[in-house]
Structure 1
Amino acid sequence: MSQAPLYLNAFLLTVVLIVLFRDIASRAGFVDRPDQERKRHQGDVPLVGGLAMFPAFVVASIFLAPDLRAPLGVMAGLGALVVVGAIDDRFGLRAGVRLTAQTGAALLMIWPIAPSVDWFAGTPAEVLALAAFAGAPLALVFVVGLANAFNMMDGLDGLAGGAAASALFWLALTAMAMGREDAIVAALPLLFSVLGFLVFNLRHRWRAKASVFMGDAGSLMLGAAVAYFSLSLANGGERVVSMGPLLWICALPAIETLSLIVRRLRAGRSPMAGDRRHLHHLLVDAGMSPRSAAATLIVACGTLGALGYMAAILGVDDLAIFVGLALVAALHSLVVWKAPAWIALQLAKPDGAGALQAARSISDRLAGPASGLSAAIVSPAETEEAR
């Protein structure tokens, strides 16, 4: 039987829940408020995206055949992340508490499969068995790390949702190419839930700015889900590909997070401290409109995902795959290390602000007609919509 109606239901239920939740959230104060430092959006925005996507995903999954659903432990772990993220969104939690809760949720998700994940192509079963004790901590770090990577990437309208949709799409396509129907069917309800959220969060011709955000509840859940579905494709006797190609599918969020951690530690700051040194902030500060910057990074995620998919189906050697990832990381590092100095140099010039405004105008024209409207709402000097 076709699963298409279930996917459509996941999309529609997400839309309906967001419409229901956003007014309640506004009255209850469950909103993201601008602070003019990092959060420069206009007005209070309801943080209900994650609270709508997860129930829609669960409801759609319930109607799948039992052997096609995501395991109960995965659902429990993702649900725990939604709850922890929602509490953090509303009240704020200390970094240690957040990390402990995320670790517990990740353990629920990965414990049955973590020891047998094939991190390198062709790893013999005997080696996998010997490496079980090392594989579990590595899988745990991967899930917690990617959950936080998507959380850190949630800084522009549509960016984290677009990156998650791209990753889930390429994971499902890889599973399809490799004959893993269970992985395809389990991931697609979440993909369609994300698409329902993007109706309200992604800037387009009929929406100048996001009307809801996903919040930590959504970004942590999506990052962990992408990590789990990646691990499941490289798991034990059912593995169809090693982790090498799959890392390309989530490469940009992962590389961006590792880079941020290194830069913050070098500056003597906590890795969990917020700032405007994210790649998406640097692109906006360099003159791109928020819409153009988000679109550029979503396309980059999609391109990297396509390369990972091609590497998987063509059987590219893992050494070449990891060398390629290192080159992508080097290019990212070059951009983020040089961009702040370039922006400061431009602003120091007499016509520097004009040059950045011209760059924004060009990026708006390249991104399409909707950007002109967003640029009219968001001045180059203030970038109010760049959260």
Structure 2
Amino acid sequence: MSLRTTLFSQKLALSSAPLLLFLWGLATLIVTAGVFAIIFSYPVLPSHVPLLFTAEQGLTTKVFLPAVPALAVIFLLGNAVVSELLLRKRENAAAIFPAFLSLLVSIILTDSLFRILRIFPLPSSAFEEAIYPLLLPFSTAILLGLGTTFAVSAAARRLKIFDRPHGPYPDVRPIPRLGALPLFVTFAATALLFLPLDAALKGFLLGMGILALIQTIDDVRPLPFWIQGLGHLAAAGAVVWGGIRITFIGNPLWPFIPPQYLAFDAIPYLSELVTVVWIFALINVVDWLDGLDGLAAGVGTIAAGTIVASSLLLDTPASALLGIILAGTLLGFLPLNFYPAQIYLGGGAFLLGYLLAVLSIFSGAKTGTALLVLAVPIIDALYVIYSRVRTGKSPFVGDQTHLHHRLLKAGISHQKIVLEEWALVATLAIAAVLLRGFAKLAAVGLVFLAALLANRLLLRKFGAKSPKPAAPSPGV
């Protein structure tokens, strides 16, 4: 039987392998970027270009320049065939290697192409100059994130460290719940690789390490909530120790009501207190979002992208670099976390909240942008606390009254809820980047009112119903 008959005689196995589809899609996207770079640069290139990285050696006619992405495409197609054949033989683990290799080769070849093109004084914007240095850290974080997530998931399965039935989740699937580890290792390693270790980064990574340790222990052996809370405060304190503080926020009512900025450093220790409260609050809000496979990681990716865009607009390259590293870290984690998850975010949701809180301070975006991007989970958390207290329950004892739980009870599928919430957050993220001042405040207010109304209606209609048998990933 020919190879063509073997491949096309049945449904492609790759279509049911989300991790491999993600890897191939990412590799294809990277190669496509190289193709577009050639298309736009070709008319202004000289007749001869180097095939190496120096203009003095290896000059050849520019007609051969498209050979670089062509080689990448051939390599990708060949490895895709290998992965498909391995999947059909149920060699799932082995099928990942050609995909990883293809992604790596596509990054190397496309980076080589960009290096060749950048030798010449081609027309470019300041935005392009800011974007290019982010590509390598982004790619590194994705690859490292994929590798560490896969390794942690495999190790947890071997050690039988699975999620446990608890609280409102009596029938959770036996899935590893060590998401904090791959997030910490990937983000910290990539940040140390591309950024100087100054006092701010030391405090940032120290707080991250404290949080990762506490939440990993909790994923293995549950800790009392007050110990976790102390860990969250310690992580926020490490950030302040590193010199990261919220010293002011823009007044959203300016120019109607002065002053233009609300300063916190005029009163002793006020900026430190505001910083700790902000970080502590966002740590817990994002954790409450982690109720469906892939939901929190996807929202975090969008929020990280918003931080990158805001940082570029505000000309803060260090925070843009940290934001793109976080986005890459989450994209590396997401293929194994999307429904049906092979690893839960678990305590990593607290870590994600910490990262978003600190990066929002770094970027200068601060509260307005974060409140708008995370408006849905924030209002959901506030409403759940209110409903629990009103009914005499502890706000710290989990139940299934979160927005995504009620949408599940309404009969909407797991994947559809996640994708729709991603789309909503992405829309709010665009608004957060484009809007300023009072317009942003008005948008935050409208979103909060809409979210309150949706929560109220869904709670009335589905709050008392029992959950569906298929349990979502755990969250508070």
Structure 1 residues 66 and 258, CA, compared in 2 at 3 Å: closer, same or farther?
Answer: same
In the alignment, is the contact (CA less than 8 A) between 2:246 and 2:361 conserved in 1? no
TM-score (norm 1): 0.80
Give the SS at the match of 1:32: coil
Structure showing greater Rg = 2
Tell me how far 1:326 sits from its aligned partner: 2.5
Tell me how far 1:262 sits from its aligned partner: 1.6
2:326 corresponds to 1:190: yes
AA partner of residue 213 (structure 1): Y
Residue number among 24, 27, 48 corresponding to 2:158 in the alignment: 27
Tell me how far 1:310 sits from its aligned partner: 0.8
Count matched residues.
337
Residue number among 377, 381, 384 corresponding to 1:260 in the alignment: 384
Q: Provide, for residues 233-265 of structure 1, a one-character-per-residue CA deviation record: whole Å limited to 9, x for no partner.
A: 33xxxxxx5632342122222222222222211
Runs in 1 of length 4+ with deviation above 6 angstroms? Answer: 67-70
2:269 corresponds to 1:113: no
Give the SS at the match of 1:222: helix
What does residue range 218-257 of structure 1 map to in structure 2 within 5 Å? Answer: 218-234=348-364, 243-257=367-381
In the alignment, is the contact (CA less than 8 A) between 2:289 and 2:295 conserved in 1? yes
Partners in 1 of 2:283 and 2:449 — Cα distance?
Answer: 23
Partners in 1 of 2:387 and 2:250 — Cα distance?
Answer: 27
Partners in 1 of 2:457 and 2:151 — Cα distance?
Answer: 44
2:449 corresponds to 1:330: yes
**128-137 or 4-13: bigger deviation:** 128-137
Structure 1 residues 246 and 19, CA, compared in 2 at 3 Å: closer, same or farther?
Answer: closer
Partners in 1 of 2:238 and 2:208 — Cα distance?
Answer: 9
Partners in 2 of 1:17 and 1:335 — Cα distance?
Answer: 38
Partners in 2 of 1:344 and 1:63 — Cα distance?
Answer: 48
In the alignment, is the contact (CA less than 8 A) between 2:404 and 2:417 conserved in 1? yes
Structure 1 residues 180 and 287, CA, compared in 2 at 3 Å: closer, same or farther?
Answer: same
Aligned sequence identity (%) = 24
- The corresponding residue for 2:470 is 383
What does residue range 1-387 of structure 1 map to in structure 2 within 5 Å? Answer: 2-34=133-165, 37-38=168-169, 40-41=171-172, 43-66=173-196, 71-111=201-241, 112-120=243-251, 127-131=263-267, 133-203=269-339, 209-216=340-347, 218-234=348-364, 243-311=367-435, 316-318=436-438, 320-343=439-462, 381-385=468-472, 387=474
- The runs of 5 or more residues in structure 1 that have no matched partner are 204-208, 235-240, 348-352, 354-379
Q: Provide, for residues 78-102 of structure 1, a one-character-per-residue CA deviation record: whole Å limited to 9, x for no partner.
A: 1111111111111111111111110
In the alignment, is the contact (CA less than 8 A) between 2:289 and 2:296 conserved in 1? yes
Structure 1 residues 137 and 39, CA, compared in 2 at 3 Å: closer, same or farther?
Answer: farther
Q: Provide, for residues 33-79 of structure 1, a one-character-per-residue CA deviation record: whole Å limited to 9, x for no partner.
A: 345943644x3101232211211111111221417996110011011
Partners in 2 of 1:291 and 1:35 — Cα distance?
Answer: 23
Give the SS at the match of 1:118: strand
AA partner of residue 220 (structure 2): R
- The runs of 5 or more residues in structure 2 that have no matched partner are 1-131
Partners in 1 of 2:332 and 2:200 — Cα distance?
Answer: 20
TM-score (norm 2): 0.65
Partners in 2 of 1:386 and 1:60 — Cα distance?
Answer: 28
Q: Provide, for residues 133-175 of structure 1, a one-character-per-residue CA deviation record: whole Å limited to 9, x for no partner.
A: 3332222111111111111111101001001001000111111
Tell me how far 1:127 sits from its aligned partner: 4.2
Cα RMSD after superposing both structures? 2.6
Structure 1 residues 178 and 160, CA, compared in 2 at 3 Å: closer, same or farther?
Answer: same
Tell me how far 1:293 sits from its aligned partner: 0.9
Tell me how far 1:125 sits from its aligned partner: 7.5
In the alignment, is the contact (CA less than 8 A) between 1:115 and 1:131 conserved in 2? no
